[in-house]
Copies of this chain bind each other. A is one copy, B any other.
Amino acid sequence: MIEDKQPQRTPISELGEFGLIEHLTKNIELKNESTKYGIGDDCAILDFGDKQTLISTDLLVENVHFDLSYVPLKHLGYKAIMVNLSDVYSMMGKATQVTVSIALSNRFPIEAVEELYEGMRLACKLYDIDLIGGDTTSSNLGLVISVTSIGEVEKEKAVKRNGAKVGDLLVVSGDLGAAFMGLQVLEREKEVYKVNPNSQPDLSGYDYIMERQLKPEARKDIPTILNSLEVQPTSMIDISDGLSSEILHICKQSEVGCNLYEDKIPLDPTVISACEEFKLDSTTIALSGGEDYELLFTISQDDFEKVKGNPHMSIIGHITESGANLITRAGESIPLKAQGWNHMK
């Protein structure tokens, strides 16, 4: 979807594969000292000196991970980068480089690919990331985006999922469920549009949840804040599939359990009101909605005073010997289930 209603349409065949890559990457500047050589050869060359290197990769497929009927390509490009950087931040790393591969069919003109790249470049600019390589190819299958991100971390300082200890506090950044509710609004508008293509979408009052869905921000700030507070988390993961699923990953890999307190789950007021409007339970949405790209982590109880009252994070529970449970507002204990985005269903 290109916002300009009368866009210029240049077929990709006019440039060819090499021409397209050259065209899209000609203005890319390198910012990280660790980037010795970027786009233009068989490999990029990186040098991390005495740091450790982090690598993460994601594949995004049209109509599985995104719907171009309501996601502008520029936003999609931005989000594709964010989703991937989030994985580096969730190891307490500093994201430094990305590679981007795109397969696209002939229905996309060059201008559409430019829109997509513009979003990616903006994300890279705002997060100080070097775009160092990739692959561009045709597809008779719609649009596929593959992003690999690379980051650095001090030796032995990467925080994995498997270090949570009994008694640790369970902490989450930001608030949850907004991205999912933004999606509900977009899907409702799509249905309205199908019935009446002349209708104008009314999205006022939904700004926050729309932005959380269309233009999520990875939590680059959280590793920095935790370092400045001198808090080294014992385990960490980013919330892509939903709080419930991510807690279960930590519990399984750390071989522990947890109590999560329903009344501690951070929700934005607009999420609560959207849930009421859509007749959805806000706790369920926070647990299973996904795509929040907040960070979930555990810290030692000794660090409680350092984190208490911090506006960027909420303590939502604690680690137990076994059994991952939600403690409801009524005081009931209910086993947590992974109800995240299971794309394989």
Chain A interface (Cβ within 8 Å of chain B)?
A: 12-13, 15-18, 20, 36-37, 40-50, 52-59, 61-65, 86-88, 90-91, 93, 97, 99, 101-103, 132-142, 144, 146, 148-151, 153, 155, 158, 160-162, 237-238, 253, 338, 342-345
Contacts and interface: CB of A to CB of B under 8 A. Distances in A.
Contact of A137 (B44, B56, B61): B61
A137 B86 CA distance: 18
Contact of A345 (B16, B47, B61, B160): B16
Nearest to A158: B45
Contacts of A47: 52-53, 155
A82 to B, nearest CB: 14
Nearest to A52: B47
Given A61-B141, A64-B103, A56 B42 contact: yes
Q: How many copies does the complex hold?
A: 2
Given A138-B344, A140-B64, A148-B148, A103 B43 contact: no
Contacts of A15: 344
The 6 A-B residue pairs whose C-beta atoms are closest, nearest first, are: A141-B141, A146-B146, A42-B87, A43-B54, A59-B101, A46-B53
18 contacts: A16-B345, A42-B56, A42-B86, A42-B161, A43-B93, A43-B149, A45-B52, A45-B91, A46-B52, A47-B52, A49-B50, A56-B133, A57-B135, A59-B101, A61-B138, A64-B103, A64-B140, A99-B148
Contacts of A155: 47
A136 B343 CA distance: 9
Nearest to A238: B42
Contacts of A238: 42
A198 B43 CA distance: 46
A58 B135 contact: yes
